[in-house]
């Protein structure tokens, strides 16, 4: 069976997803695409990943071997050639220079935010392969400023941003939040909203009498 080398930088970093999409595919390593940045485009909300040139930056990628059948499946999932086209890149794999194919978004699409589901699918892959989650959050517009020394002041500042709809990430875990505040959970620790998952985690912590302090939150790490 003939195989092609393919590099994934978005949701296809997630091996569980790829096992369904591309049953013949196998991981052969990790690498980076130098002088490129990770961007989310397509819609203001629900944007999807692509990479674009940026001198001095680099994007972590998962390197796969895929069959012709896998590539046909990916062509369908990636909307080739309308939404994505294919481009070859030179990357380093275990000290060897190789050529690998990636799907790159076609021009003219606006930059936006990924959905919570899409972001978390990518984040699972980042965790599995030890990629920098802070890089993913920054690329998705989810990073916070350097934490302030006073936790109360920090919480108050973020509460005001939430009321003004100037927020993206959950202050407790760094995960994605819904844009409408009422669709999230009011924290049991401070007068601020957290994601649904963190709201459940706080309730469980109270039930087991193991409350977690605010200073353990993502915004203070």
Could you give the percent of the chain with pLDDT greater than 90?
Answer: 60
Tell me the per-residue pLDDT of 111-150, one tens digit each, with 9 for 90 and over. Answer: 988 877 788 889 889 989 999 988 998 898 876 554 455 7
Side-chain half-sphere exposure of 81, counting CA atoms within 13 A: 3
What gap in Å lies between CA 64 and CA 80, rounded to an integer?
19
What gap in Å lies between CA 23 and CA 121, rounded to an integer?
18
138-157 b/e (C-beta count within 10 Å ≥ 16 → b): ebbebebeeeeeebeebbee
Tell me the per-residue pLDDT of 68-96, one tens digit each, with 9 for 90 and over. Answer: 999 999 999 999 999 999 999 999 999 99
Domains assigned to the chain = 3-136 (3.10.490.10), 146-220 (no CATH)
């Amino acid at each position: 069976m003939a195989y092609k080398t393919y590099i994934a930088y978005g949701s296809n970093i997630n091996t569980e997803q790829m096992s369904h999409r591309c049953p013949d595919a196998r991981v052969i390593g990790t690498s980076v695409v130098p002088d490129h940045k990770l961007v989310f485009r397509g819609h203001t909300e629900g944007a999807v990943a692509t990479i674009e040139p940026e001198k001095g930056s680099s994007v972590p990628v998962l390197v796969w071997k895929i069959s012709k059948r896998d590539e046909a499946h990916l062509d369908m999932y990636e909307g080739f050639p309308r939404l994505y086209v294919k481009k070859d890149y030179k990357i380093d794999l275990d000290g060897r220079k190789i050529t690998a194919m990636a799907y790159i978004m076609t021009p003219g699409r606006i930059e936006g935010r990924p959905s919570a589901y899409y972001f978390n699918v990518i984040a699972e892959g980042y965790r599995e392969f030890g990629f920098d989650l802070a890089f993913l959050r920054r690329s998705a517009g989810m990073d916070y400023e350097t934490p302030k020394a006073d936790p109360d002041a920090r919480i108050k500042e973020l509460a005001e941003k939430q009321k003004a709809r100037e927020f993206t990430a959950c202050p407790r875990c760094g995960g994605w939040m819904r844009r409408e505040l009422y669709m999230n959970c009011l924290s049991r620790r401070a007068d601020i909203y957290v994601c649904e998952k963190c709201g459940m985690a706080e309730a469980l912590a109270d039930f087991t009498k193991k409350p977690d302090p605010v200073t353990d939150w993502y915004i203070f790490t």
